[in-house]
Amino acid sequence: MSKTATPLTQLSAWKALESHAESIKPKHLRELFAVDPERGTRLAVDAEGIYFDYSKHRITDETIKLLLQLAEESGLKSHIEAMFTGEKINITENRAVLHTALRAPKSAKVLVDGEDVVPEVHKVLDAMAAFSDRIRSGEWKGFTGKPIKNVINIGIGGSDLGPVMAYEALKHYSQRNLTFRFVSNIDGTDFAEATIDLDPEETLFIIASKTFTTLETMTNAHTARSWTLAKLKDEKAIAKHFVAVSTAEKEVTKFGIDTANMFGFWDWVGGRYSMDSAIGLSTMLAIGPDNFKKLLAGFHSMDQHFRNTSFDKNLPVLMGLLTVWYADFFDAQTVAVLPYDQYLKRFPAYLQQLTMESNGKHVTLSGAKVNYETGPIFWGEPGTNGQHSFYQLIHQGTHLIPCDFIGFAKTLNPLGEHHDFLMANVFAQAEALAFGKTAEEVAAEGTAADLVPHRVFEGNRPSSTLLLENLTPEALGKLVALYEHSVFVQGIIWQIDSFDQWGVELGKVLAKKIIGELEKNGEGLKHDASTNELITRYLKLKK
């Protein structure tokens, strides 16, 4: 990535898009479909087992042509190659960005500083598989000789959200005699509730932390250690009940975990891009090594698609460009992700970190303040639940909210007519958002004149629909990689560093300082008047 790229708003495609957007804004999707019914099948891509219908967007072929031109002018192709080949594209941390190497097959070669990292990746995967087999079969015994029944992943942010999401998403494939819990919050309630009904003799903790210094994780890890030792009363028990996933061998040793029970990864794996590294150990324990391999294969095939497919048929490229289109030319502040699958209930939360920590930036690679919008807010809930709460605002509110609907043709739990009812709602929602209901249509139903405005649906509200056959480990890998690469595309267009996260630092530093002050009972507070008062009141109230 060049720090001296032509500023985005000076690219000719950008300028063309600005005036093109003005010609699109007055057009209604009703009109766009009426004059061009084929758009419903033309503006779609069927690739990697994902049917991506983007016809219900406020676009024409010209829009796509200009967006693709924007991608070309932004040098997207060479940036993709730079990422895949291990260039240090995370410039503020001087790091390569190689989550794609985590799912590369054994035969691949990916060089970082002249060294092929693929053999190391597979060595760790093999060690994870051997360990998983021992836990899943009951061969691995706890300190008192009982097999492990409970696995608790302690981690936060990238060391938590991926594992939680993947566990929930792939629960159908999980070994049901193992219980999985996830502790992330520094709030002691998280740990207390996760362990309230568990026996330390049968519980394994995975301490998942890239740095092994994160306050939340280390506090929870120390609490877990005390909880274990309170019952097992012997330091030697730690080796049987604790494993670590980390890049920081020294810190792991310091904590007392045998490095034989440590699964490593590397500084070129960003936290929010790490669910397919050893951070996914809980996922592998749940679904087994073979299914984990399928998950990785799904990621890899989307990687290949992203790297090798022409942009006009490239799922992450199209998806990323559409996000840019609404954020920058329609002032859309948010994107709603609406999976119609209960197993994907944590998918929006996972995407929040992936998208917002990556693209919530306001300076370009050269440090200049941007004069356009960058990463929108991602949010969502599984359907149909959301329909009975916030969809009202999407349909009739004043905000334009592009939506991603995600549905599967086959259910993993065939129960009566549930699945057809579920999918009917996906199609109905996308249709209602796009085409709405006019005042004439409402009046023709015999609605009282004074109620007509309330019952009108303007429509013209854009959405993508992603239709897949089945929620398999492979499909999940493809979906996650699709969003990862879409985020990458956006970051390239916006000329930002999608792989750092300096925005989380200041709060951490200030909290550390305040922890010291609380320990000193608030002596000599030197904050602003509001913060001083809040700390003082807190100390008084807690007495």
Check if the beta carbon of residue 275 is closer than 8 Å to that of residue 283.
yes
Would you say 54 or 488 has its CB closer to ligand G6Q?
A: 488
Would you say 201 or 357 has its CB closer to ligand G6Q?
A: 357
Check if the beta carbon of residue 348 is closer than 8 Å to that of residue 406.
no
Strands (E), 104-232: 111-112, 115-116, 150-154, 179-183, 203-208
Q: Is the dihedral of CA 347, 343, 216, 97 positive or negative?
A: negative
Q: What is the DSSP letter of 55?
A: T
Q: How far is the CB of 247 from ligand G6Q (least distance, A)?
A: 8
Q: How far apart are CA 108 and CA 134, in angstroms?
A: 29
Would you say 156 or 338 has its CB closer to ligand G6Q?
A: 156
Out of 272, 300, 346, 478, the residue judged to bind ligand G6Q by CB under 6 A: 272
282 forms part of the interface with ligand G6Q (CB under 6 A): no
Would you say 60 or 274 has its CB closer to ligand G6Q?
A: 274
Out of 100, 159, 195, 498, the residue judged to bind ligand G6Q by CB under 6 A: 159
Q: How far is the CB of 16 from ligand G6Q (least distance, A)?
A: 35
Would you say 159 or 301 has its CB closer to ligand G6Q?
A: 159
Furthest CA-CA distance within the chain: 78
What part of residues 349-368 is at the interface with ligand G6Q (CB under 6 A)?
A: 357
Amino acid letter, 43 = L
Out of 86, 200, 264, 270, the residue judged to bind ligand G6Q by CB under 6 A: 270
- For residue 441, the SS3 value is helix
User: Which residues, at least 6 apart from 492, have a Cβ–Cβ distance to it below 8 Å?
Assistant: 1, 71, 74, 75, 76, 79
Annotate each residue in 307-346 with x if it binds ligand G6Q (CB under 6 A) or - if it does not, as one string: ----------------------------------------
Q: Token pair 């002050």 is at which residue?
A: 517
* Best CA proximity match to 271, nearest among 315, 213, 209: 209
Annotate each residue in 443-482 with x if it binds ligand G6Q (CB under 6 A) or - if it does not, as one string: ----------------------------------------
Q: How far is the CB of 234 from ligand G6Q (least distance, A)?
A: 28
Would you say 103 or 305 has its CB closer to ligand G6Q?
A: 103
Amino acid letter, 396 = Q
Would you say 188 or 503 has its CB closer to ligand G6Q?
A: 503
Could you give the count of Cα atoms lying within 13 Å of 399 in the half-sphere of its Cβ? 16
Amino acid letter, 12 = S
What part of residues 196-255 is at the interface with ligand G6Q (CB under 6 A)?
A: 209-211, 214, 217
Q: How far is the CB of 307 from ligand G6Q (least distance, A)?
A: 22
Stretch of residues binding ligand G6Q (CB under 6 A), selected from 154-162, 222-230, 406-414, 525-533 = 154-162
Annotate each residue in 489-508 with x if it binds ligand G6Q (CB under 6 A) or - if it does not, as one string: ------------x-------
Partners of residue 337 on adjacent β-strands: 404
Q: How far is the CB of 487 from ligand G6Q (least distance, A)?
A: 12
Check if the beta carbon of residue 297 is closer than 8 Å to that of residue 474.
yes
Out of 142, 157, 376, 462, the residue judged to bind ligand G6Q by CB under 6 A: 157
Q: How far is the CB of 501 from ligand G6Q (least distance, A)?
A: 5
Check if the beta carbon of residue 20 is closer than 8 Å to that of residue 58.
no
Q: How far apart are CA 523 and CA 239, in angstroms?
A: 41
For 356-386, give one letter per residue: b (16+ CB within 10 A) or e: bbbbebeebbeeeebeebbbbebbbbbbbeb
Annotate each residue in 124-143 with x if it binds ligand G6Q (CB under 6 A) or - if it does not, as one string: --------------------
Write out the catalytic residue numbers: 357, 388, 508
Amino acid letter, 92 = T
Backbone angles phi, psi at 334, to 5 degrees: -140, 165
Binding site for ligand G6Q (CB under 6 A): 156-159, 209-211, 214, 217, 270-272, 357, 501
